[in-house]
Structure 1
Amino acid sequence: MKIKILLALIVVNLIQAQKFYFPRNAVTDSAVLEKQLPLLASKLMTQPPLMKLKNTNRLAYLDNLFRLQIVARDYKKSIATLSDYRSEFAAHNMAGNKFIAYEFYSGAKIMETKEKLNFHDALQKAFNKKYESLPDQLITKVGIAVDGDVNASRKLLKETLDKQKDKDSIDYGSALALCKNYLSYKTFSGIKPQIIELVALKDKEKFITETKDLKTRNGNTLTITVIRKKENTAPLPVILTNNIYAGPIDAVFGKRAAVYNYVGAVVNTRGKRNSNDENNPFEHESQDIYEVIDWVSKQPWSNGKVGMIGGSYLGFSQWAAVKKLHPALKTIVPQVAVGIGIDYPAQNNIFMSYMLQWINYVTNNKLTDEADFNNFKKWDSINTAWYKSGKSFRALDTISGKPSKIFQRWLDHPGYDAYWQKMVPYKEDFANINIPILTTTGYYDDDQIGALSYFKAHHQYNKNANHYLVIGPYDHGGAQSFGYTYINGTPIDPVARISIDDLAFSWFDYILKDGKKPALLKDRINFQVMNTNTWKHVPTLEKMHTSTLTFYLQDRKNTPSVFTQPAQKSFVNQTVDFKNRDQKDTYHSVSKTDSIKTTNSVYFESEVLDKDLIISGNLAGFFKVSINKKDFDTDTYLYQVNPGGKTFLLSTHIVRASYAKDNEKRQLLKPGKEEQIPIKNSIFISKKIEKGSKLVLLVGVNKNPSWQINYGTGKDVSNETIKDSGEPLEIQWYNDSYVEIPIYQE
């Protein structure tokens, strides 16, 4: 066995060390580069690393293959590979626009040779041919699909070439990166201006587009874009989207509603596009949207009925809109809605570093600052610099080089106080929301906690709430567009691969046009059970599970089962040194092929399960702890280790201990005293766990550059610095602490 492992390592090292001829003058001579890259791409297509992907990760294989085929100038094969990629990527045709820019480019290259045309004319023919084959739902997204960042791709190509200076060879990884970066720049610089122009001409043929500025009673300016199909001459219901991400996406949202035979109206928030007002995200939506609805409902192209749709911030906007409900607003479809003050900018009262990146994204200019937002290297370095410095979380914006009033204002409200409460319905406000609502979210949605917080509050305060939920194996993007074939590299069940757009507009047809109720909505809660290829339908969130499995924090060396209450009370000690900023990550090997990161966590593993289980719902329970400080932030992960030894993350939970009982009121812990920390607002999931699997539970302390660091003094955490860390945090995790895992049985 040792010899086999050694041989395998030698093979891997040989592959990584393999070099390909690539003349040094290709870096400075574009003619040489154009000649050498097709030869290089052809070689890469036959190399073992790519061939291995063919069997281990087909999606990645096809992704690499079509790019190399284009660089190698095998355009016909690239189009065939792209077709295979789309079929693999998503069963529904809503995925058809992914990589359509490369299809335009390859199609133009084929026509350029076949019909002896110049590239400009060949591209126009290729565009027309492809455009005519697209369904209406896809033509709305063509413009944004080809809107690649040419400057960014040019810069990336230059950086890749610069690494080859004074070299006559290139290794496999660098060669693949070079081919990809070259293709990105070549494609978008070659087709973007012309395709954008062609799309605009097509839009003029099909749609009526009007953009105007609305003045509110307070004198603020809001820019609104209204899009209608030319063939629809009678008044129609209006589908409104409130959008802080001003830019090309406005037209996409407007056209999306129009092709489903509605009037699409997209309004930008204060300070965006033509508005010179101050941009304070989240703060004015309720007031402004009421006036926008009032205006659109009275226009000649409106029949007086308004619905709303949108995801993330746009989902939040709909909840802001119903805080003061306009009579013309008949339904909302909030998708992956931000739970302001609940899951963003703080999740369970712990502020996240990402908030500053997002603030700059939407406030740097009148549109969105895509280049800054997508400069992940920059933001990682800023967050790391803050983490290494030991400065207060309040210093993050100063460290970034751009102080932010918004960032500082948000930090002034660590509890769910009146500042957040006034932005959306709060408690009894939900009792007055009597319009039908459809919420969509996903098991991998970053705003799942927020989306579900509205759903739960609505049903809690309004017993007659006409509010449906669809939740499945979707991430933040998927739950507001369509179900991809893969999520985090894992294929999802075929029944989950639905078009969220089709679902949403079927709902609008049902509510606004007296159509049929969408077939998926068989009950209030509609959830997809992963690994079973089925949807389930229940009346309440609590009915997503029929029992619970209690996982106690105990070492199996002392007990045959972690699912049995311990006979004697004991505890596990954990020490976390907040002064240590050079801590090495630790891992626990769960099998010969996989491991779990355990940094700042305590590891608990169950026995092998002797039967299949369906975990469905979210984690609950209590942590019973004693610490030597006044506060800390818990971090919890539940994994499945399948019979083959592969890990699968099922659920997570993070919370500030002092806010765990009440997110509005801080209740500090007493050092040395046993305390109970309730587990609430963890991540929902529904998945069949196969017999022969094990469950792994990690409990620990949040300490990383992505979040605030709670030093435990009891002061405002945003003001604490490494000087407040004092002695290391000592935690006693008592073995009668437990996590309740929800189980569903027929």
Structure 2
Amino acid sequence: MKIKILLALIFLNLMHAQKFYFPKTAVTDSTVLEKQMPQLASKLITQAPLLKLKKTNKLAYLDNLMRLELVAKDYKRSNAALADYRKEFADHNMAGNKFIAYELYSLAKIIEEKEKISFPNALQKAFNKKYESLSDQLITKVGIAVDGDVPVSRKLLKEALNKQKDKDSIDYASALALCKSYLNYKTFSSTKPQIVQLVKLKDQEKFITETKDLRTKNGNTLTITIVRKKENPAPLPVILTNNIYAGPFDSYFGKRAAVYNYVGAVVNTRGKRNSNDENNPFEHESQDIYEVIDWVSKQLWSNGKVGMIGGSYLGFSQWAAVKKLHPALKTIVPQVAVGIGIDYPAQNNIFMSYMLQWINYVTNNKLTDEADFNNFTKWDSINTAWYKSGRSFRALDTISGKPNRIFQRWLDHPGYDQYWQKMVPYKEDFANINIPILTTTGYYDDDQIGALSYFKAHHQYNKNANHYLVMGPYDHGGAQSFGFTFVNGRPIDPVARISIDDLAFSWFDYILKNGKKPALLKDRINFQVMNTNTWKHASTLEKMHTSTLKFYLQNRKGNSSVFNPPAEKSFIKQTVDLKNRDQKDTYHAVSKTDSIKITNSIYFESEVLDKDLIISGNPAGFFNVAINKKDFDTDTYLYQIQPDGKAFLLSTHIVRASYAKDNAVRQLLEPGKIEQIPIKNSIFISKKIEKGSRLVLLVGVNKSPSWQINYGTGKNVSDETIKDSGEPLEIKWYSDSYVEIPIYQE
């Protein structure tokens, strides 16, 4: 392990040690810069760090190669690298990346040189050719894919150049970053204004787009965008999206519905676009959406039927909409839906630092503050500064330099109380939801717990719930767009690479137009088993597995197995100093080729598996613990160590111990007493575990700049400070504790 780290450090040092000529005049003289950048990029293409990526991370290699060849003005090779990238990555939908902007820029440069015409004329030719090659579904996304932020890219380029002030050389890593910043500014500044107009003209040929301000009964203003296909003059069902992320996505969501032959309606939440109302995310959606549905269902272009779609906050909005169900709302398709108060802004009652970053993102202006949100260096430094300071979590907004009333209000509700309950259906409310629903989420979805919480509650309180679930190896973006070839750097099975858009609108056709049920929906639960290239189907979540395997918290001795109950009850003692903010991360080598972080965790490893297993569902079980404080936050990880020695994270679970039994009512622990902490709301996964693998379980304490720190006094955790830490936290993890792993057998 030490050798591996040493080699990595040597390689990193070599990257920084290697220098390339780059005159200091390039920082201030644009003519010199234009001459030097292609030369610098050409040198980087042949360097060892890039060539090494070809073997270790082909996607990163092709991404960097494509950009460097563009800067080097080798436009044909750049397009070839982009084509290779798309074969690897299956870049089906363009949303979320800017590659089409680079492609248009390079194609325009080729045409400019070949036909000896001006760049604007060449760009128009390149745009028209590319546009005509795209399907209706893809043309709706062109506007988003080319929407680079020119001022931000200019700022980032300037920052990269300033680092070279008074220097005549540049190291590899800095040179690569400079080339990327230069390319972004060069591409977007020279293409975006013209392409925005070209997209607008194309849209005018195909769509009728209207933007209106609606006044609610309470006097609030909501801006709504309606998009219709010109060739569809007759009234159609309306697909409504409630969007807090006001901006380019308003037009996109509307056009997306229109190309599937619906009317697209996109309403912005209070305080967005033309609304001068107070922006309080999540709080008023139920009331406002009811009035919006009432309005759209009565318009001449509507046939009176309304469906809803959208992901994340937009998924939450649909559950808010069915809190009080409007008769015109016939179906919803919530994707990766935020479980407000359940998985965001707190997951299992532990508030996350990210909440402040997100609040600023959606409330700083009438659209979204992309520059602030994507300034990861800023937010990492804020979270780290808070962590290092030992101040209360409630001080995070002050440390950021901008006190925030929404952040403070949320912290006043650490339990799942009426504040959160009133925003979405709660308990018996689900019994009144009798419209068909299609939920999508993924094994890597940040809001999987929230999406599944609605699904579970709907079936619990409504025995006749007509509610389907589709779940696969998708992240937060993929489960509301397309199953990409790679997720988290790993390939997914070909059968999982489906269009979520096609699935959703096939569902709308089924419900709103009497079409056929989507073929994938063979039962209520439809899940892809990773590493088998198959989909499975079950009538309930519980039937995703046929048995369970209990992994006990015991270290193996001799031929003993972690899957058998311990012969004698014992415990492993863990000590965590909550005051220590200079703690170095520790790692455990699981093989010669990989290691996993075990900071603040205890490591348990199974024997080598003698047969294949399919883990399907979410781990459950109980921890039997005794601590010297009144509370703590558990942190659990389940890994597969594959036969090749690589670690694969299967599932995670965090929970505030005092809320583990009831997320609405805090029940403090009694110091020194053995207490049982149930494991609920862990991450779902379905994957074949190959023979020759081992399972690894990490259990420990959540202590990180990304989350609140629970000092265990029993006070509101948001108000605790490092002064409350007292003596180190001591935990006795008893060996009869177990994590119950769900197993599927044919």
TM-score normalised by the shorter chain: which range applies? Answer: over 0.9
Measure how far apart 1:129 and its partner are: 1.1
SS in 2 for 1:741: strand
Partner residue, 1:67: 67
* Aligned 1:197-276 pairs, distance under 5 A: 197-276=197-276
Find the aligned partners of 2:7 and 2:697 in 1 and give their Cα distance. Answer: 35
Structure 1 regions of 5+ residues with no counterpart? none
Find the aligned partners of 1:49 and 1:705 in 2 and give their Cα distance. Answer: 32
Find the aligned partners of 1:148 and 1:526 in 2 and give their Cα distance. Answer: 37
SS in 2 for 1:334: strand
Partner residue, 2:458: 458
Find the aligned partners of 2:171 and 2:690 in 1 and give their Cα distance. Answer: 42
Partner residue, 1:564: 564
What is the identity, as a one-letter code, of the residue corresponding to 2:359? I
Contact 2:94–2:145 (Cα < 8 Å) also in 1: no
* Aligned 1:201-600 pairs, distance under 5 A: 201-557=201-557, 560-600=560-600
SS in 1 for 2:611: coil
Give per-residue Cα distances to partners, 1:89-142, cap 9 Å, x unaligned: 127466797510001100110111111111111111111111111111111111
Partner residue, 1:107: 107
Find the aligned partners of 1:424 and 1:675 in 2 and give their Cα distance. Answer: 32
What is the identity, as a one-letter code, of the residue corresponding to 1:319? W
SS in 2 for 1:51: helix
Greater Cα shift, 50-59 or 385-394: 50-59
Measure how far apart 1:222 and its partner are: 0.6
What is the identity, as a one-letter code, of the residue corresponding to 1:575? T
Find the aligned partners of 1:692 and 1:91 in 2 and give their Cα distance. Answer: 34
SS in 1 for 2:170: strand
With over 3 angstroms needed to count, the CA separation of the structure-2 counterparts of 1:183 and 1:8, relative to structure 1, is closer
- 1:610 corresponds to 2:607: no
Structure 2 regions of 5+ residues with no counterpart? none
With over 3 angstroms needed to count, the CA separation of the structure-2 counterparts of 1:255 and 1:637, relative to structure 1, is same
Partner residue, 2:725: 725
Find the aligned partners of 2:11 and 2:681 in 1 and give their Cα distance. Answer: 47
Contact 1:223–1:274 (Cα < 8 Å) also in 2: yes
* Aligned 1:104-253 pairs, distance under 5 A: 104-253=104-253
- 1:36 corresponds to 2:36: yes
What is the identity, as a one-letter code, of the residue corresponding to 2:105? Y
Find the aligned partners of 2:9 and 2:700 in 1 and give their Cα distance. Answer: 34
Greater Cα shift, 44-53 or 441-450: 44-53
Find the aligned partners of 2:405 and 2:9 in 1 and give their Cα distance. Answer: 53
Give per-residue Cα distances to partners, 1:239-286, cap 9 Å, x unaligned: 000011111110000000001110000001111111111111111111
Give per-residue Cα distances to partners, 1:441-500, cap 9 Å, x unaligned: 000100000000000000111111110000001010110000111011001111111110
Give per-residue Cα distances to partners, 1:655-695, cap 9 Å, x unaligned: 00000000011111000000000000000001111111111
Partner residue, 1:76: 76
SS in 1 for 2:245: coil
With over 3 angstroms needed to count, the CA separation of the structure-2 counterparts of 1:319 and 1:10, relative to structure 1, is closer
Contact 1:382–1:400 (Cα < 8 Å) also in 2: yes
Give per-residue Cα distances to partners, 1:573-625, cap 9 Å, x unaligned: 11111111111111111112211111111111111111111111001000000
Find the aligned partners of 1:686 and 1:513 in 2 and give their Cα distance. Answer: 33
SS in 2 for 1:527: strand
Contact 2:614–2:745 (Cα < 8 Å) also in 1: yes
SS in 2 for 1:621: strand
Find the aligned partners of 2:6 and 2:649 in 1 and give their Cα distance. Answer: 31
RMSD value over aligned CA atoms? 1.8
With over 3 angstroms needed to count, the CA separation of the structure-2 counterparts of 1:2 and 1:605, relative to structure 1, is closer
What is the identity, as a one-letter code, of the residue corresponding to 1:667? Q
With over 3 angstroms needed to count, the CA separation of the structure-2 counterparts of 1:712 and 1:62, relative to structure 1, is same
Measure how far apart 1:559 and its partner are: 6.0
Contact 2:93–2:481 (Cα < 8 Å) also in 1: no
With over 3 angstroms needed to count, the CA separation of the structure-2 counterparts of 1:543 and 1:85, relative to structure 1, is same
Measure how far apart 1:27 and its partner are: 2.1
Contact 1:546–1:743 (Cα < 8 Å) also in 2: yes
Find the aligned partners of 2:7 and 2:410 in 1 and give their Cα distance. Answer: 56
What is the identity, as a one-letter code, of the residue corresponding to 2:184? S
With over 3 angstroms needed to count, the CA separation of the structure-2 counterparts of 1:394 and 1:745, relative to structure 1, is same
Give per-residue Cα distances to partners, 1:201-260, cap 9 Å, x unaligned: 111111101111111111111110000001100000000000111111100000000011
* Aligned 1:638-649 pairs, distance under 5 A: 638-649=638-649
Measure how far apart 1:80 and its partner are: 2.0
Find the aligned partners of 1:686 and 1:94 in 2 and give their Cα distance. Answer: 28
With over 3 angstroms needed to count, the CA separation of the structure-2 counterparts of 1:98 and 1:529, relative to structure 1, is farther
Measure how far apart 1:21 and its partner are: 2.3
Find the aligned partners of 2:281 and 2:2 in 1 and give their Cα distance. Answer: 59
Find the aligned partners of 1:274 and 1:26 in 2 and give their Cα distance. Answer: 44
Greater Cα shift, 451-460 or 358-367: 358-367
Greater Cα shift, 682-691 or 15-24: 15-24
* Aligned 1:689-728 pairs, distance under 5 A: 689-728=689-728
Contact 1:95–1:482 (Cα < 8 Å) also in 2: no
Find the aligned partners of 2:231 and 2:592 in 1 and give their Cα distance. Answer: 62
SS in 2 for 1:52: helix
With over 3 angstroms needed to count, the CA separation of the structure-2 counterparts of 1:708 and 1:732, relative to structure 1, is same
Find the aligned partners of 1:174 and 1:332 in 2 and give their Cα distance. Answer: 48
Measure how far apart 1:342 and its partner are: 0.4
Contact 2:95–2:145 (Cα < 8 Å) also in 1: no
SS in 2 for 1:583: coil
Contact 2:95–2:141 (Cα < 8 Å) also in 1: no
Partner residue, 1:56: 56
Find the aligned partners of 2:620 and 2:30 in 1 and give their Cα distance. Answer: 61
With over 3 angstroms needed to count, the CA separation of the structure-2 counterparts of 1:442 and 1:168, relative to structure 1, is same
With over 3 angstroms needed to count, the CA separation of the structure-2 counterparts of 1:691 and 1:389, relative to structure 1, is same
What is the identity, as a one-letter code, of the residue corresponding to 2:346? A
Measure how far apart 1:522 and its partner are: 0.7
SS in 2 for 1:551: strand
Find the aligned partners of 2:88 and 2:14 in 1 and give their Cα distance. Answer: 31
Find the aligned partners of 2:317 and 2:66 in 1 and give their Cα distance. Answer: 40
Contact 1:227–1:264 (Cα < 8 Å) also in 2: yes
- 1:688 corresponds to 2:698: no
Find the aligned partners of 1:35 and 1:21 in 2 and give their Cα distance. Answer: 13
**Could you tell me the TM-score, scaled by structure 2's length?**
0.98
Contact 1:96–1:138 (Cα < 8 Å) also in 2: no
Find the aligned partners of 1:17 and 1:360 in 2 and give their Cα distance. Answer: 39
Partner residue, 1:745: 745
What is the identity, as a one-letter code, of the residue corresponding to 1:588? H
Find the aligned partners of 1:172 and 1:490 in 2 and give their Cα distance. Answer: 27
Contact 1:531–1:688 (Cα < 8 Å) also in 2: yes
Find the aligned partners of 1:214 and 1:221 in 2 and give their Cα distance. Answer: 6
Contact 2:94–2:142 (Cα < 8 Å) also in 1: no
State the aligned residue count.
746
Contact 1:86–1:95 (Cα < 8 Å) also in 2: no
Contact 2:93–2:482 (Cα < 8 Å) also in 1: no
Find the aligned partners of 1:17 and 1:609 in 2 and give their Cα distance. Answer: 45
**Could you tell me the TM-score, scaled by structure 1's length?**
0.98
